[in-house]
Amino acid sequence: MNDQYNYSINPNQKFGFLELIDVPNLIASCTEKWHNQTLCQVNDCVVRLAICLGEFHWHKHDKEDEFFFVLHGKFFIDLENETIELKQHQGYTIPKGIKHRTRAIERTAVLLVEAATVEPTGD
C-alpha cells in the first residue's frame, strides 16, 4: 500500500516467463479500489494490471512514456487542457513529461505497458 495515497501498488513481478497469466481471475479476486500489480517484464518494459475506481493524483514521468489499454469499464485521462475518455478495448499513450491524472467512475481494469524504471506514482 502506498503510504501517501490510498493505492495498492505492487511493483514486484508476479509472473515469470512461461507462466499463464489469468487476467480475468486476477480482476475478479481484487477487492481494492485502486490496485496496481506488475504482471511480467518484457525486455526493458513491464506489463501492469490496474483495477481502479476513483481518481489517481496529478503526476508525470520525466523519462518514460506510458501506455494504457482498457480491458473493461471506462477510464479517463485528464491532461492539462483536455480529458481523454477510453472505453473497453481502447488505448492511449502518454509521452514522457506530460502531466496527467487518471480516474474511473466505475470499476475499471486497465493494462499498462511502460519502462520497468517507471515509478507508478510519478517523478
Residue 31's domain comprises: 8-15+22-115
84 occurs within a structural domain: yes
Count how many domains the chain has: 1
Q: Determine, yes or no, domain membership for 75.
A: yes
123 domain residue, yes or no: no
Residue 1 clears pLDDT 90, i.e. is over it = no
Q: For residue 110, is it within any domain?
A: yes
Give Rg (Cα) of the chain: 13
Contact yes or no for 103/54 (Cβ under 8 A):
yes
As to burial, measured by CB atoms within 10 angstroms (0-12 exposed, 13-18 middle, 19+ buried), residue 50 is buried
The 10s digit of each residue's pLDDT in 67-120 is: 999 999 999 999 999 999 999 999 999 999 999 999 999 999 999 999 999 988
Quick check: is 120 in a domain? no
Share of the chain above pLDDT 90, in %: 89
Q: Is residue 3 part of a domain?
A: no
For residue 17, what is its C-alpha cell? 516467463
Residue carrying C-alpha cell 511480467:
40
Say which CATH number the domain at 89 has: 2.60.120.10
To the nearest whole percent, how much of the chain has pLDDT over 70?
Answer: 96
Would 122 be classed as within a structural domain?
no
Q: Has residue 44 got a pLDDT over 50?
A: yes
